[in-house]
Amino acid sequence: MQLGLIGLGKMGGNMRERIRRAGHTVVGYDRNPEVSDVKSLEELVEQLDAPRTVWVMVPAGTATQGVVDELKDLLSPGDTVVDGGNSRWTDDEKHAAELGIKGIGFVDAGVSGGVWGLENGYALMVGGDKEHVERLQPVFEALKPEGPYGYVHAGRVGAGHFSKMVHNGIEYAMMQAYAEGWELLEKVNSVDNVREVFRSWQQGTVIRSWLLDLAVNALDEDEHLKKLKGFAQDSGEGRWTVEAAIDHAVPLPAITASLFARFASRQDDSPQMKMIAALRNQFGGHAVESKE
């Protein structure tokens, strides 16, 4: 099968290689000419036989919208566009409508696997009409892990990215739980080998997971994480998960708290904690620490 792939960063570049290893033809385009197979989107489209399939792996929002706008004028009826980035599901509905006017199909694909996907495969959550999804099955099979799992046609347009959004919200909460447990273990005097405690959890416990394995990897590289600053960025998907929960009146206390914890990580001197310290001093005479 032929595929055009736009965006050859850490994810896109590895996806191109994995699809090629499965025997398919991939024509890749990136703004970085050192990794790009062609010089422009026009050239990419010209090198594909109709009906064409073009997979987009660029940042959500303005970048994705710009690529969709260009492809809308370059592709023909019967072609299909796949958005494999981390777009908001409501954008999928918009893009499907815009492309549909020109007779171009649209599929949204939530992709999970990160830098490990080249060797391990990518988990794929796909949304779109059955006819468009089935056409892409050879590519999905090339990208997914070996075995029966790792791929799902989640529903209509938007379902793939919505599912990936919820996946990332769960990921937030799981990482926060590991982080809180690690900090508590580091704090007490009785535990003097926190890294090995984490390692011991990798077998035979109910909290073993790939995230736990990655935590052990990180502790092997920097046992007490002294080289890192306590700052964590959040992707749009964590926020969108909480917003969707509000819209549907679904309680998500753990995921919401994990998102807010990332906000707290950006404060060197938390204004909220200043007020809490002041109040504790006022009602209980508790000591406060001044900056001086």
Q: What is the CATH number of the domain that holds 108?
A: 3.40.50.720
| Same domain as 63, residue 201 | no
Residue 174 shares a structural domain with residue 238: yes
Domain that holds residue 202: 165-265
DSSP 8-state symbol, 47: T
275 occurs within a structural domain:
no
14 within domain boundaries: yes
**Cα separation, 106 vs 83, whole angstroms:** 8
**Do 103 and 236 have their domain in common?**
no
What pLDDT does 291 receive? 65
H helices present in 75-158, as ranges: 89-100, 117-120, 130-135, 137-143
In this structure, the strands spanning 53-56 and 80-83 are parallel
What pLDDT, on a 0 to 100 scale, did the predictor assign at position 286?
73
For residue 219, the model assigns a pLDDT of 94
Residuewise pLDDT in 10s, the chain (292 residues)? 999 999 999 899 999 999 999 999 999 999 999 999 999 999 999 999 999 999 999 999 999 999 999 999 999 999 999 999 999 999 999 999 999 999 999 999 999 988 889 999 999 999 999 999 999 999 999 999 999 999 999 999 999 999 999 999 999 999 999 999 999 999 999 999 999 999 999 999 999 999 999 999 999 999 999 888 888 888 788 999 999 999 999 999 999 999 998 888 888 776 777 777 777 777 777 777 776 5
Last residue of a domain, one of 156, 180, 206: 156
Tokens describing residue 152: 């799902």
For residue 176, tell me if it sits in a domain: yes
Shared-domain flag, residues 235 and 260? yes
What φ, ψ does residue 127 adopt, rounded to 5°?
-125, 145
pLDDT at 2: 96
Point out the domain boundary residue: 115, 135, 156.
156
CATH of the domain at 193: 1.10.1040.10
Which of 106, 137, 156 terminates a domain? The answer is 156
Q: Of the candidates 88, 68, 89, which has an alpha carbon nearest to the alpha carbon of residue 79?
A: 68
285 domain residue, yes or no: no
Residue type, 238: G
Which pair of structure tokens corresponds to residue 263? 């906000």
Whether residue 68 sits in one domain with residue 127:
yes
Q: Are residues 141 and 87 in the same domain?
A: yes
Amino acid sitting at position 255: I
Query: Are 137 and 20 found together in one domain?
Result: yes
Residue 30 shares a structural domain with residue 145? yes
Q: Are residues 70 and 176 in the same domain?
A: no
Q: What is the side-by-side strand order in the sheet with 80-83?
A: 25-29, 2-6, 53-56, 80-83, 105-112, 123-127, 151-155
Residue 49 inside a domain? The answer is yes
Q: Are 174 and 231 in the same domain?
A: yes
Q: Could you give the number of structural domains in the chain?
A: 2
Q: Is residue 271 part of a domain?
A: no
Q: 36 and 127 share a domain? A: yes
**Residues designated as active site:** 164
In a domain, 289, yes or no: no
Q: Are residues 8 and 89 in the same domain?
A: yes
Q: How far apart, in whole angstroms, are the C-alpha atoms of residue 218 and residue 196? A: 12
Residue 288 counted as domain residue: no
Q: What is residue 232's predicted lDDT score, i.e. its pLDDT?
A: 81
